[in-house]
Amino acid sequence: MNLSKIVSKGLIDRTIEERQNDIKKGIYKEIKSQIRKIDLESQTSSRIVVLVELNYLERIVKNSGEFVNETSLNPLRVKYILGFSNKSWKLVDFVSGS
């Protein structure tokens, strides 16, 4: 799937960098999330901001399969910001814990 159609280049680059750091550390992350609630915070012709509550579980595992750590946040509150440009909406940023 080509995420660049729905996600800004900056967010894609940030995610790739985070994954590369995990690879250097010899770990990977298993993430499970479920949307509990979505509220529209604001909307203009070029920007939408939504507040989302998620059930969130992240497990960090070594490449060998050894369990390292687990984080569970219920709910995790995230603010998602979408922008409209070039005739389409894209996720441009998100802020956890807002």
Query: Which structural domains are found in the chain, ordered by start?
Result: 3-96 (3.10.450.240)
| pLDDT the model gives residue 40 | 98
pTM value is: 0.86
Q: In what order do the strands lie in the sheet with 88-96?
A: 27-43, 47-62, 67-85, 88-96
Q: In which band, very low, low, confident or very high, does the pLDDT at 91 lie, cut at 50, 70 and 90?
A: very high
Q: How confident is the model over 78-82, as a mean pLDDT?
A: 97
Dihedral over alpha carbons 96, 27, 68, 70 (to 10 degrees): 30
Predicted local confidence at residue 98, as pLDDT: 58
Residue type, 12: I
Integer Cα distance of 5 and 2 in angstroms = 6
- What is the per-residue pLDDT across 1-55, written as a single tens digit (0 to 9) for each? 788 999 999 999 999 999 999 999 999 999 999 999 999 999 999 999 999 999 9
pLDDT tens column, 50-75: 999 999 999 999 999 999 999 999 99
pLDDT value at 92 more than 90: yes
